[in-house]
Amino acid sequence: MNRYEPILLKNMMQAGYTGSLADYERAGGYRALRKALGKIAPADIIEMAKKSGLRGRGGAGFPTGVKWSFIPKDHPGPRYLVCNADESEPGTFKDRQLMERDPHQMIEGMILAAYAISAHTAYIYIRGEFVLGAKILERALAEASRAGYLGSNILGTGFALDIYMHRGAGAYICGEETALLESLEGKRGLPRIKPPFPATHGLFQKPTVVNNVETLANIPHIVNRGPEWFAAIGHPPKSTGTRIFCLSGHVKRPGNYEVPMGITFREMIYEIAGGMRGDKPLKAFIPGGASAAFLTPEYLDVKMDFESVAQAGSMLGSGGVTLMEEGTCMVWAAENL
């Protein structure tokens, strides 16, 4: 059983919560936006993200506030924000749940991020197979527009933002941010040579920030409750906050689990997810999506944070934890991920 209080998954765990705008507002949604727009300077929102220690939840784990600060302050614009919702890493399914069950949380995070970098146009690049998620997001974007959270003069502050959705075509490589930008421009989705980086030459060769769904969903909570609150959760100073891990494979209770960063794989697998299916011994596990190296049972007491998993010879990656019981052919497993 998960004894930790969720942050990002909290709303959807409440009975009767539908993810509608009305439900989200009743749960305190868009309070951070009202608190920030026209009252907190964009540069101060960036500083809040830096102080929180939030790192990207899509795989690379780059500090979010630092990424935002790379946008040239003297650039006349336009500037763009892109939400990477192309969740294609095998064994990873957290972003899909966030979009389908609580879409306004991500949208509010996008508006705050766009405000921080002074962007007036944003895009959601969603995996083409997420048909239901795309429909839910379209409805949520329409709700937000009608309520005055999107469009011109948001909440009477003079800040304007339009969010557009683009459905991908199923190419795994488009999860890489520059390949995603190429695809968004209507080109073949292949990674660009870096430098230059998206912060200076991104979408349409303009300054661009690309953030993951889970990363953006954290922003309203940081603005609402303060960066110090977020920085105290998890395994400070380099792995702060909670993280949603996707457990799959030979485990009794597969699913998404939100926990503070820094708990051990043993606690996650055996105390929270109920242990191995049929109580069979664990042979190996993938700690962070199919791109991460396999780990064996002697690494069960490694902490689930960026540095500890890297020191163990793998990576936290996208948060997809796949478990394999004794007797599994590892060649077969690698071939069929």
Asked if 221 and 304 sit in the same domain, the reply is no
Q: Which of 199, 232, 265 is the last residue of a domain?
A: 232
Asked if 44 and 187 sit in the same domain, the reply is yes
Asked if 218 and 274 sit in the same domain, the reply is no
Neighbours of 35 (CB within 10 A): 14
Q: What is the pLDDT of residue 293?
A: 94
Q: Which of 185, 212, 232 is the last residue of a domain?
A: 232
- Residue 186: inside a domain, yes or no? yes
214: CATH:
3.40.50.11540
* CA distances in angstroms from 257 to 13, 42, 112, 242, 310, listed in the order given: 12, 32, 25, 10, 21
SS3 string, 264-284, reads EHHHHHHHHCCCEHHHCCEEE
Asked if 21 and 125 sit in the same domain, the reply is yes
- Residue 3: inside a domain, yes or no? no
Asked if 252 and 283 sit in the same domain, the reply is yes
- Residue 2: inside a domain, yes or no? no
Q: Where are the alpha helices (DSSP H) in the chain?
A: 21-26, 31-36, 42-52, 64-69, 94-101, 103-117, 131-146, 177-184, 213-225, 227-231, 265-266, 306-311, 330-335
325: CATH:
3.10.20.600
Asked if 168 and 272 sit in the same domain, the reply is no
- Residue 327: inside a domain, yes or no? yes
- Residue 5: inside a domain, yes or no? no
Asked if 147 and 17 sit in the same domain, the reply is yes
- Residue 202: inside a domain, yes or no? yes
- ∠ CA 203-208-211 to the nearest 5 degrees? 110
Q: What is the pLDDT of residue 2?
A: 62
Q: Which of 215, 232, 249 is the last residue of a domain?
A: 232
Which residue segment(s) compose the domain that 278 sits in? 238-335
Q: What is the pLDDT of residue 249?
A: 95
- Residue 65: inside a domain, yes or no? yes
pTM across the whole model: 0.95
Asked if 60 and 136 sit in the same domain, the reply is yes
Q: What is the pLDDT of residue 87?
A: 94
Q: What is the pLDDT of residue 99?
A: 98
The structural domain count of the chain equals 2
Q: What is the pLDDT of residue 121?
A: 98
Sign, CA dihedral 129-132-136-139, equals positive
Q: What is the pLDDT along the chain (337 residues), one digit of tens a residue?
A: 567 899 999 999 999 999 999 999 999 999 999 999 999 999 999 999 999 999 999 888 999 999 999 999 999 989 999 999 999 999 999 999 999 999 999 999 999 999 999 999 999 999 999 999 999 999 999 999 999 999 999 999 999 999 999 999 888 999 999 999 999 999 999 999 999 999 999 999 999 999 999 999 999 999 999 999 999 999 989 999 999 999 999 999 999 999 999 999 999 999 999 999 999 999 999 999 988 999 999 999 999 999 999 999 999 999 999 999 999 999 998 888 8
Interatomic CA distance for residues 35 and 37, integer angstroms: 6
- ∠ CA 234-240-242 to the nearest 5 degrees? 60
Asked if 125 and 227 sit in the same domain, the reply is yes
Asked if 26 and 158 sit in the same domain, the reply is yes
Asked if 200 and 250 sit in the same domain, the reply is no
Asked if 164 and 49 sit in the same domain, the reply is yes
**Residue 109: what are its φ and ψ, rounded to 5°?**
-60, -40
- ∠ CA 122-128-131 to the nearest 5 degrees? 95
